[in-house]
Amino acid sequence: MKFVKFAVAGAAAAGLALVALSTVPTFAKEDTVMVGGAPMYPSKNIIQNAVNSKDHTTLVAAVKAAGLVDTLSGKGPFTVFAPTNDAFAKLPAGTVDTLLKPENKGQLTQVLTYHVVPGRITANDLMDMIKKGGGKATLKTVEGAELTFEMKDGAIWVWDGKGDAAKITIKNVMQSNGVIHVIDTVLLPS
């Protein structure tokens, strides 16, 4: 009879252990977007993600040179229109090198903050604003000037103060402190 009690007690303990193991909380995998060969994690901030993108090394260098790392690591929320390395390469020869010089920090900061809008604005938000605006929407940047948005060929396009257009190539890269939309052209205030 003692053997039966031990067998039953052992089976009960094994059953409880199995139940305990099966109820250990599992953590949901983050819904990431790949940018520049790296996953962008919604639990990380704009800077923590951007430094991993091979397509944004020029932008990251510029943000560091302008002293904006702490700002873009902060609470936000921010919407960043992030030009790729190829976008920077479209600028006239020597432009990036000139902007990265310490004596041009003010101008660099102006260009970079022209790519940032306060708040968390998704692609759906932009499309709603464009629809409500009769085909166009404008947003004021942190720099102080405006960007204009339109839909064209199924994509969202951004026009800068000089009349140049950038296409959003990757949208809704969610961050803990905002959202990034990757663009194919550097935007310049007028």
> Which domain covers residue 34, as residue numbers?
29-183
Q: Is residue 8 in a domain?
A: no
72 part of a folded domain: yes
20 versus 182: which is more confidently predicted? 182
The residue assigned the tokens 């900061």 is 109
Residue 104 near residue 95 (C-beta atoms within 8 A): no
Residue 28 is predicted with a pLDDT of 53
| Any domain includes 18 | no
Give 16's pLDDT tier (boundaries 50, 70, 90). Answer: very low
pLDDT of residue 165 exceeding 90, the answer is yes
Instruction: For residue 22, tell me if it sits in a domain.
Output: no
Q: Write out pLDDT tens, residues 63-113.
A: 999 999 999 999 999 999 999 999 999 999 999 999 999 999 999 999 999
> Which pLDDT score, from 0 to 100, does residue 31 have?
85
Measured in residues, the chain has a length of: 190
Q: Indicate the pTM of the whole model.
A: 0.84
In a domain, 81, yes or no: yes
Domain contains 20: no
Amino acid letter for position 104: N
pLDDT value at 55 more than 90: yes
Query: Does the pLDDT of residue 56 top 50, yes or no?
Result: yes
Instruction: Check residue 12 and give its pLDDT.
Output: 40
Take residue 98 and report the two structure tokens written for it: 């000139």
Instruction: Out of 15-19, 40-44, 143-147, 175-179, pick the least confident.
Output: 15-19
pLDDT of residue 143: 96
pLDDT attached to residue 85: 97
Q: How many CB atoms lie within 10 A of CB 67?
A: 11
Residue 137 lies in a domain: yes
pLDDT of residue 2 exceeding 60, the answer is: no
What is the pLDDT at residue 27? Answer: 44
Residues sharing a CB contact under 8 Å with residue 1, sequence separation 6 or more, in sequence order: none
Give the DSSP H/E element, type plus range, for residue 88. Answer: helix 85-89
Q: Which helix (H) or strand (E) holds 167?
A: strand 165-175
pLDDT score of 13: 41
Q: Are 137 and 149 in contact (CB under 8 A)?
A: yes
- Domain assignment present for residue 17? The answer is no
Q: Report how far residue 78's alpha carbon sits from residue 115's, in angstroms, rounded to the nearest whole number.
A: 10
- The verdict on whether omega for the bond into residue 77 sits within 30 degrees of 0, i.e. cis, is yes
CATH code (residue 80): 2.30.180.10
- The answer to whether the CB of 152 falls within 8 A of the CB of 126 is no
Report how many domains make up the chain.
Answer: 1
- Residue 59 contacts by C-beta under 8 Å, 6 or more apart in sequence? 50, 82, 83, 84, 85, 88
pLDDT at 24 exceeding the cut of 50? no
